[in-house]
Structure 1
Amino acid sequence: MIKIELRRLNDAFHMEARNEAGNTVQMDSSPEAGGSNLGMRPMQMLLAAMGGCSSIDVVSILKKQRQDLKDIQITITGEREKDATPSLYTEVHAHFKLFGDIDQDKAEKAVSLSVEKYCSVAKTLEKTAKITYSLEVIR
């Protein structure tokens, strides 16, 4: 079982989440909704979680393929339902930048395996959103 504890940091919406290892992340709401922008919004955290999940997969797969990955950067964008409550993601796109001496076919295989098969966050999001991805290898 995963356990996350949240505590309120101010009299509005600034919250801190802590996992069992003591790692923390802060969340808040927008000023328009009464927050102070002192942390990521929960729906932004969901996109960040997909990026983190996919990056772990891709790094692991490329290591197993003995590829010389020097760095990885992922940009994730999401579109949410307009004028809906709750406002779910309908489209999510992840763009992967892989730095190093990496075979293009192996990079494409690693990214597709992550997004389409292994990343639990992407698999969760795909229930309401169309998930797309692109990649570039930068040598």
Structure 2
Amino acid sequence: MAALKTSTTWIKGQEFESEHDGNKINVDGDKKNGHGPKALLLSGLAGCSGIDVVDILHKMKVEFSDFSIDVEADQTEEHPKVFKDIQVTYRLKTATDNLEKVKKAINLSLDKYCGVSAMLKKNSAINYTVEILN
């Protein structure tokens, strides 16, 4: 497997543009014209786990819609300020009797498949909740 590579170019101030496979995002330490770097880590966790959960639920033939993921992290006070605890909230519309299947899909993602989760867990606890929407 080829190495994962991004190219990041300074724009001005604390703003950068990062490119991967032709896709571009802005990274901004001031958070005016892009995500801050740590927020990108949390978005990466949500995206990585979300992709897994969607794939697993489809394989389980669980019907769902309106799927969203919120991720919050507490940080240490001292530098380097790293994540202490990460809380992930999964929200989706599905039948309430699918809750155990949804939890199984999330556990498989966070414990087995999501590489971002595996990396972040080396430093931070990751906890989650599930909200079934009606």
TM-score normalised by structure 1 residue count: 0.89
Corresponding residue for 1:9? 11
Q: How does 1:16-31 map to 2 (within 5 A)?
A: 16-20=17-21, 22-30=22-30
Moved over 4 A (4+): none
Query: How far off its partner does 1:90 sit?
Result: 1.0
Q: Which shifted more, 100-109 or 61-70?
A: 100-109
Tell me the TM-score normalised to structure 2 length.
Answer: 0.92
Deviation at 1:113, TM superposition (A): 1.1
Distance 2:44 2:114 in 1: 10
Count of residues in correspondence between the two structures: 131
In the other structure, the counterpart of 1:33 is none
Quote the Cα distance in structure 1 between the aligned partners of 2:61 and 2:117: 25
Unaligned runs of 5+ in 2: none
Aligned-pair identity (%): 28
Q: Deviations over 1:52-109 (max 9, x none)?
A: 001000000000000112121001000111122x211111010000113461111111
Q: Is the 8 A contact 1:116 1:123 kept in 2?
A: yes
Q: Does structure 2 conserve the Cα–Cα contact (< 8 Å) formed by 1:59 and 1:69?
A: no
RMSD, aligned α-carbons: 1.3
Indicate the residue corresponding to 1:83 in structure 2: 78
Structure 1 unpaired stretches of 5+: 31-35
The answer to whether the aligner puts 1:66 opposite 2:66 as a matched pair is no
The aligned counterpart of 2:93 is 99
